[in-house]
């Protein structure tokens, strides 16, 4: 990658990549505990756009593992820059003044083999247009919800939020409930979590505060999700449970293809197609 990054951009990129490493190591450890030797396969990619030479617009690394516990999990990191297409620029915070952008972040989706283990999504990102800001969040997506798991997941995210601003958790939880909703089905995609965006960095202090919160969200994910996996991965399931999971995955696919803003952002900015669509489940069904 030939992008020239300023200190803030480099700090964000370095953090997202280090978080990727910690998450992938933890997920591989879970596979080892289950007697599996599955590991992540990493595939680098360059952003493709008209007039760009390889690496000029940045790129990323797609990490995918298919194992005994994680039927399919993707953990992607990317750092890209360039210009938005004029019409798309109108939809991006701060891009109406100039189409130039920089973006770095991590995106994760895990689909599990056992219907009792929830699927999960997490991403955090740092974007720069005429403004700069952090965004992200995490949400739990169980085919067969369990109150204990939902409470644990939300408690870890709330602790991360409360340490930075007492208003964050109720505000960002409500935002997730509103965002992760499938209008044509009239149902939520899962049991929620938090979603935040446009935490603007108007000065150095703003950058440090919002970056610290974004790091806390990443740390909270590692406290929230792996314990749930370990709690449920050995449970037995019936054919009916598996059918329920496949139908639920269909709903998940519908949301990501029709409503997810991250999917659209990747497709509109020359991202790697396989990395963008790694969020889709390996198998799904529609009745």
pLDDT in tens, 126-149: 999 999 999 999 999 999 999 999
Catalytic residues: 121
pTM: 0.93
Each domain of the chain, given as residue ranges in start order, spans 7-279
pLDDT mean over 54-78: 92
In terms of residues, how long is the chain? 287
| CATH number for the domain running over 7-279 | 3.40.1500.10
Residue 29: how many other CB atoms lie within 10 Å: 12
Residue 56 in this model has a pLDDT that exceeds 70: no
Percent of the chain with pLDDT over 70: 97
pLDDT in tens, 73-96: 999 999 999 888 888 878 888 888
Residue 156 φ/ψ, nearest 5 degrees: -65, -40
Q: Tell me the C-alpha to C-alpha distance, in Å, between residue 218 and each of 16, 112, 194, 211.
A: 9, 20, 12, 11
Distance between CA 189 and CA 248 in Å, rounded? 9
pLDDT in tens, 109-130: 999 999 999 999 999 999 999 9
Contacts of 164 (CB under 8 A, 6+ apart): 209, 212, 213, 216
Residue 58: how many other CB atoms lie within 10 Å: 25
pLDDT mean over 158-170: 98
Residue 55 in this model has a pLDDT that exceeds 80: no
């Amino acid at each position: 990658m030939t992008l020239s990054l300023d200190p803030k951009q480099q700090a964000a990129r370095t953090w997202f990549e280090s978080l990727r490493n910690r998450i992938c190591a933890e997920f591989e450890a879970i596979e080892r505990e289950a007697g599996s030797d599955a590991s992540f396969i990493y595939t680098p990619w360059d952003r493709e756009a008209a007039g760009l030479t390889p690496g000029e617009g940045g790129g990323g690394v797609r990490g995918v593992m298919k194992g005994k516990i994680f039927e399919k999990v993707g953990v992607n990191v990317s750092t890209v820059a360039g210009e938005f297409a004029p019409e798309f620029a109108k939809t991006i915070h701060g891009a109406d003044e100039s189409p130039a952008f920089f973006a770095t972040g991590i995106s994760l989706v895990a689909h599990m083999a056992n219907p009792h283990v929830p699927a999960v999504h997490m991403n955090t990102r740092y974007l720069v247009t005429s403004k700069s800001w952090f965004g992200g969040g995490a949400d739990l997506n169980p085919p067969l919800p369990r109150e204990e798991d939902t409470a644990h997941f939300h408690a870890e995210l709330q602790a991360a939020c409360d340490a930075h601003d007492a208003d964050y958790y109720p505000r960002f939880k409500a935002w997730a409930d509103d965002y992760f909703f499938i209008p044509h089905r009239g149902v939520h995609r899962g049991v929620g979590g938090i979603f935040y965006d446009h935490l603007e960095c108007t000065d150095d202090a703003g950058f440090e505060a919002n970056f610290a919160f974004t790091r806390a969200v990443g740390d909270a994910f590692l406290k929230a999700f792996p314990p749930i996996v370990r709690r449920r991965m050995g449970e037995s399931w019936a054919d009916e449970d598996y059918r329920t999971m496949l139908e639920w995955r269909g709903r998940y696919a519908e949301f990501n293809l029709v409503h997810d803003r991250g999917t659209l952002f990747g497709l509109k900015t020359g991202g790697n197609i396989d990395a963008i669509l790694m969020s889709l489940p390996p198998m799904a069904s529609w009745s």
